[in-house]
Amino acid sequence: MKKQTSFSTKGNRTNLGPLSINRMLPNRYASKVGPFVFLDYIAPAVKEIINKNGMGAHPHRGIATLTYILQGEEEHFDSAGNYAKIHSGGVQWMKAGTGIVHDGNLNYDPETNSKIIQGFQFWINLPAKNKAEKPAHLAIQASEVPQKALPNESGWIKVIVGNYEELSSKIPNYSEQFLLHIHLEAGKQFSISLNDKIEAAAFLTTQNVILNDAEFEAGEFVEFSRKAGEIEIKNTAQTTVDVLLFGGEEYTEPVIAEGPFVMNSKKEIVLAYEDFYNGKYGEIKNKKGKA
């Protein structure tokens, strides 16, 4: 049986210089999908100017941030001393844990001939016990992202978070979670079955796609019902299509989100701000890859 669609939305758009940022989650229908509580989509755009000094340092607590760059280069630095650059197809994951300050640069990829930037930033809510852990960071280059060809020359699938068949992401799983990038050739399809009570949503990048026999437009965020069932993706276009499918088990602990912090109570939010203003998250000292 195919899963029913709960809703679809195109989110809210904000311009940041030449970049168009689409806030897909939270939205007016949902505040989370499994452990995912935030999704910004950077639509394809040409960026000529190179940032070198960061885009604005800010704190986080209680979550893990995940940046997936389809096109471009993303540079990361934080108050725990982590520094890394990823290029087109790469992933930056940062567990804020008890608190961290981070910043970065988003530029075109010097390894390609394109000045196009396109990508995603997710926030993954941590279980209460993991919110008290030390910060951590992973930089995963495109060649390290698990990937396999789909049957019948249909395309390919990448596992950004979680598992699919024999593929497993390097990113830690603190609950059942998945983030898959499905690339389908013209006239092909892909199906996946999900268990009962698993929350799931799809995001369509730059092409219209058929999801469970209904057509949705490029730029739409589509959430599905929680009942067990199948999600079928069909590409009826004459070009390739890309779909992100993500979700996981329901986050059942209280969720209190304010600014850059996601905690389990209002008291914890107040403490997160107090600790930040008291300098307990440290400061960024490493912006060039050197101590």
Residues, the chain, total? 291
In this prediction, residue 48 carries a pLDDT of 86
In this prediction, residue 52 carries a pLDDT of 85
In this prediction, residue 291 carries a pLDDT of 39
In this prediction, residue 113 carries a pLDDT of 82
In this prediction, residue 107 carries a pLDDT of 94
In this prediction, residue 89 carries a pLDDT of 97
What is the distance between the alpha carbons of residues 212 and 214, in angstroms, rounded to a whole number? Answer: 6
Q: What is the pTM of this model?
A: 0.95
Domains of the chain plus CATH, in order, are: 14-277 (2.60.120.10)
Kindly report the number of other CB atoms within 10 A of residue 158's CB atom: 22
In this prediction, residue 288 carries a pLDDT of 65
Distances (CA, A) of 139 to 49, 62, 89, 93: 24, 20, 11, 6
Tell me if 50 sits within 8 A of 254, measured CB to CB. Answer: no
Going from the first residue of the chain to its last (291 residues), give the mean pLDDT of each consecutive group of 10, the final group possibly shorter. Answer: 93 86 95 97 92 90 98 96 96 97 94 92 97 97 98 97 98 97 98 96 96 96 96 96 97 96 98 97 77 39
